[in-house]
C-alpha cells in the first residue's frame, strides 16, 4: 500500500485489501488447540439443528459439530507448540511498565463521535462470544511496580493478577495448557438465551416462543443477585440492563409478528426463529452501525 492506510484507498481497492488481510490472519494467526481428534467432545446432531440453533452451540457447523460449542477450547494466535508458559521470564518485560510507557494518557482525550452506549454495546456483545470463567483465587501472579508508578503513592506495591482457569481435559505436562470458553463461541445471542439447555429453559415463558418478562415488560430480577435473570449477567451495570431488556422485548415482539402471520407455529418453532432473527439483528447493528461509528472513515461510511 506504500504510504497509504487502507482507509485512504479507493473503495474497491480497500475492500480487496481487507479481504486479503483477513485471509492472511486466518492462515497465520488462527491455530487449533486440539492436537488430536480424541481430545474433542462428541455430539450427535438431530434434524432440528438444520433450521435452529442448539442451546450449547453444538451442530452449528454439521461438518464439525463440536466446533464453537460451550466448553470448546479457545484457539490461539500462535502455533500451540509455541505456547508453553515460561514462568521464569513471564514478567520480562514487566507488563505494568509497558502499560505506563506506551498507553498512559497525560491528559483526558474525549470521545467526540460516540457515547457510553458504545462501551455498553461492546460489553453486551463480548458476553455473547466468550467467558473464561472465574479466575483461580488461590493462584495468582504478582506484578511488581516501578519507582514513579502512581499506585505506589496509594500504598500498592504490586498488582495481583489471578490466573485463568485452565482446561481440565488437557492436563498432560508435555503439552501446553489450553483454555475453554464457558459460553458458546458463536454470534448467537447467548448472553440473552444462555449457553446451556437448563438456563435457556428457565428463561422461557414456554408459550408463544417468548422469554419471561414482568407485567411491565421488563426482565424479572433474580432474588439472590438483585439483577436481571438473563443468559449472562456478570459485570452487571445499567448499560447492560438497558440492552438486555431491549433485546428481550425485541425477541417477544418478533414472536408476536410471526404468530400473527403463521398461527400454526409451535412454541418451540417461534422461539427458535425469533432467536435467529434477534441474533441477526444484533450482528447487523454491530457491523453497519457500531463499527462505522467507532472506526469512522470514508470507507466504512460508504
Catalytic positions are: 127
Distance (Å, rounded) from C-alpha 212 to C-alpha 131?
24
CB 170 within 8 A of CB 177: yes
Cell triple for 109: 482525550
Cell 467507532 locates to 294
Helices 238-261 and 116-129 cross at an angle (nearest 10°) of 70
Amino acid at each position: 500500500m506504500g504510504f497509504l492506510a487502507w482507509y485512504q484507498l479507493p473503495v474497491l481497492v480497500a475492500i480487496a485489501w481487507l479481504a486479503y488481510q483477513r485471509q492472511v490472519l486466518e492462515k497465520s494467526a488462527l491455530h487449533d488447540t486440539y492436537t488430536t481428534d480424541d481430545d474433542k467432545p462428541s455430539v450427535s446432531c438431530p434434524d432440528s439443528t438444520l433450521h435452529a440453533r442448539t442451546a450449547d452451540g453444538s451442530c452449528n457447523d454439521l461438518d464439525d459439530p463440536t466446533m464453537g460449542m460451550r466448553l470448546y477450547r479457545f484457539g490461539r494466535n500462535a502455533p500451540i507448540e509455541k505456547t508453553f508458559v515460561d514462568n521464569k521470564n513471564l514478567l520480562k518485560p514487566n507488563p505494568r511498565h509497558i502499560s505506563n510507557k506506551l498507553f498512559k494518557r497525560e491528559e483526558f482525550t474525549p470521545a467526540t463521535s460516540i457515547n457510553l452506549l458504545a462501551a455498553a454495546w461492546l460489553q453486551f456483545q463480548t458476553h455473547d462470544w466468550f467467558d473464561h470463567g472465574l479466575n483461580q483465587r488461590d493462584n495468582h501472579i504478582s506484578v511488581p511496580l516501578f519507582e514513579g508508578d502512581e499506585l505506589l503513592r496509594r500504598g500498592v506495591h504490586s498488582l495481583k493478577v489471578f490466573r485463568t482457569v485452565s482446561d481440565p481435559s488437557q492436563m498432560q505436562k508435555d503439552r501446553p495448557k489450553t483454555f475453554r470458553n464457558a459460553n458458546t463461541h458463536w454470534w448467537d445471542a447467548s448472553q440473552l438465551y444462555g449457553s446451556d439447555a437448563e438456563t435457556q429453559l428457565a428463561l422461557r415463558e414456554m408459550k408463544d416462543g417468548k422469554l419471561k418478562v414482568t407485567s411491565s415488560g421488563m426482565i424479572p430480577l433474580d432474588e439472590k443477585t438483585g439483577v436481571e435473570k438473563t443468559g449472562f449477567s456478570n459485570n452487571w451495570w445499567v448499560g447492560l440492563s438497558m440492552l438486555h431488556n431491549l433485546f428481550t422485548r425485541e425477541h417477544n415482539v418478533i414472536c408476536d409478528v410471526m404468530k400473527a402471520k403463521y398461527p400454526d407455529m409451535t412454541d418451540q418453532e417461534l422461539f427458535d426463529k425469533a432467536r435467529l432473527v434477534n441474533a441477526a439483528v444484533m450482528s447487523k447493528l454491530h457491523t453497519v452501525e457500531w463499527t462505522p461509528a467507532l472506526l469512522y472513515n470514508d470507507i466504512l461510511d460508504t
